[in-house]
């Protein structure tokens, strides 16, 4: 379940999908993700598995955070597992599309692109002990900015992260247009920071008047004292969205796929670096999800933004 209800931020009816999957993949099951190739010769069973976490913050920090989990995956799969520090969403998507990336956590907004263009098959998400999960998009400003409401962003600089980010671009774009009739360039000056941490630091340092960010990232940065709570002021909080989707490449050998899934669901978080990092967001375990069901609201936001995916 989500931490909050999924009441629509824009007046749209949820649809199954408006995006065409790349021709190299097949969705025979009709669940909106790529199926295992019918030709067994196309199944992949590499001696070394490559894992990448969504590039929202310093990759060097997360190489350590995931180290114990990857050791656990090595035990479950019998294979070497390497952490791949990606610098941006495009590089992560291209790595899976080209076969260089086998297991990954894609951020909320880039998950549909990874599914349709890279054969990514999500199957799990981090959740709390009670099974609740999700995060909110917040629009933040500096405590001394004088901005008290979204309406007061007119004429100001608003930082987004990247165009593939849900909370860093797509959701705020849809919400600003639908709820406030505010459009980039006409009503405010958009900027792209490249990452949530860049946007948050930029607001704290007064480089941006405001920024749209994921509050899960903001909370982790506050807990690590990268920025001070006294420097940040919230002026908008969205509905709850699903967080990072974890999954694998569609063409991995089916027996290997089952071992990878078992590694996620059998991992003991207690006393690990993963627990230390993600307990800040109330997360304590991995639970099963489906892209078809749990990403419906994200596909609707994409439709509201007239997003179309180009798979090259």
How far, in Å, are 179, 190, 194 from residue 185 at the CA level? 17, 7, 19
2 belongs to a structural domain: no
Owning domain of residue 268: 40-132+242-304
The pLDDT of residue 100 is above 80: yes
> Measured in Å, how far apart are the chain's first and last C-alpha atoms?
35
Q: State mean pLDDT over 227-244.
A: 94
Q: What is the CATH number of the domain that holds 107?
A: 3.40.190.10
Domain boundary among 241, 266, 291: 241
- Tens-digit pLDDT profile for residues 178-220: 899 999 999 999 999 999 999 999 999 999 999 999 999 999 9
Bridge partners of 247?
104, 122
pLDDT, average across residues 261-269: 98
Condensed to tens digits (0 to 9), the pLDDT of residues 138-163 reads 999 999 999 999 999 999 999 999 98
Residue 18 included in any domain: no
CA distance 174 to 183: 9
The answer as to whether 311 is a domain residue is no
- Quick check: is 312 in a domain? no
Cα 50 to Cα 47: distance, rounded to the nearest angstrom? 10
pLDDT tens digits, 66-80: 999 999 999 999 999
Residues 87 and 232 in one domain: no
The Cα 125–Cα 143 span in angstroms is 33
pTM of the entire structure? 0.81
| 273 lies in the same domain as 290 | yes
Structural domains of the chain, count: 2
Reduced to 3 states (helix: H, G, I; strand: E, B; else coil), residue 312 is coil
Same-domain check for residues 215 and 282: no
For residue 32, tell me if it sits in a domain: no
Pairing label, strands 120-127, 245-249: antiparallel
* Same domain, yes or no: 87 and 48: yes
């Amino acid at each position: 379940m989500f931490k909050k209800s999924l009441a629509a931020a824009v007046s749209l009816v949820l649809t199954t999908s408006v995006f065409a999957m790349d021709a190299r993949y097949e969705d025979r099951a009709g669940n909106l993700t790529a199926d295992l190739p019918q030709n067994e010769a196309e199944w992949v069973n590499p001696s070394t598995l490559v894992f990448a976490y969504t590039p929202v913050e310093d990759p060097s920090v997360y190489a350590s955070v995931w180290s114990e989990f990857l050791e656990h995956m090595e035990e479950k799969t019998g294979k070497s597992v390497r952490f791949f520090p990606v610098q941006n969403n495009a590089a992560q998507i291209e790595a899976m599309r080209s076969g260089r990336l086998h297991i990954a956590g894609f951020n909320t907004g880039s998950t549909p692109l990874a599914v349709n263009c890279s054969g990514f098959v999500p199957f799990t998400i981090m959740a709390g002990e009670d099974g609740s999960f999700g995060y909110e998009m917040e629009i933040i400003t500096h405590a001394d900015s004088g901005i008290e409401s979204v309406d007061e962003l007119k004429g100001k600089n608003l930082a987004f992260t990247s165009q593939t980010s849900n909370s860093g671009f797509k959701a705020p774009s849809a919400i600003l247009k639908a709820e406030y009739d505010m459009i980039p360039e006409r009503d405010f000056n958009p900027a792209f920071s490249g990452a949530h941490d860049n946007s948050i630091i930029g607001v704290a340092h007064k480089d941006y008047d405001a920024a749209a960010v994921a509050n899960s990232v903001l909370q982790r940065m506050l807990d690590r004292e990268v920025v001070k709570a006294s420097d940040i002021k919230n002026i908008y909080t969205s509905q709850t969205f699903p967080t990072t989707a974890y999954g694998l490449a569609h063409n991995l050998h089916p027996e290997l796929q089952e071992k990878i899934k078992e590694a996620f669901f059998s991992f003991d978080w207690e006393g690990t670096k993963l627990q230390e990092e993600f307990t800040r967001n109330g997360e304590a375990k991995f639970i099963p999800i489906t892209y078809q069901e749990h990403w419906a609201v994200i596909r609707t936001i994409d439709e509201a933004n007239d997003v179309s995916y180009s798979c090259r």
